Amino acid sequence: MSLAMGVLQIVEDAACAQQFQRVKTVFLEIGELAAVEPDAMRFCFDAVIRGTLAEGALLKVIEIAGEGLCFNCNQTVPLAARYDPCPACGGYPVQATGGTEMRVKELEVE
C-alpha cells in the first residue's frame, strides 16, 4: 500500500509542477527483481486514488526483465530471481544489474 501511495505522490507532484487537472493513465515500470507484485500494486493503486486527481486512472504495468552480472564467468545474464546461480556457468555470485527498479515512466493527462 505504501508503494502505491508513493506512486500517487509522484503523480500529484507532477500535477502541481505541470498544471494538469486529471490523470487518465499511469505507466509504471516494475522490475522482475523489484519484489513488487504487479496485481497487488494494481489493487492498492485503485484503493489510494479514490477522491484524487487520479481517480479512475488506469495503471499500466510494464514489466522489466531481471538481469545480472556473473562474477564467475563475467557475463551479463538473464536473472529470474535474486541469489539464483548463473544460468550460463552455474556459478555464484550473480549481482543484479537490471530489473530491480520501479518507476513512473509516463503519465497520460488532461
Question: Which residues are annotated binding-site positions for Zn(2+)?
Answer: 70, 73, 86, 89
Which numeric CATH code is attached to 2-109?
Answer: 3.30.2320.80
When pLDDT is averaged across residues 22-40 and rounded to a whole number, the result is: 97
SS3 state at 65: coil
Model pLDDT for residues 52-108, shown as the tens digit of each residue:
999 999 999 999 999 999 999 999 999 999 999 999 999 999 999 999 999 999 999
Bridge partner list, 97: none
Q: What is the pTM of this model?
A: 0.86
Question: Which residues are annotated binding-site positions?
Answer: 70, 73, 86, 89
| Domain locations in the chain as residue ranges | 2-109
Q: Residue 87 has what pLDDT?
A: 95
Q: Which long-range contacts (CB under 8 A, 24 or more apart) does 73-79 make?
A: 79/32, 79/33
Which of 93, 95, 2, 79 is CA-nearest to residue 33? 79
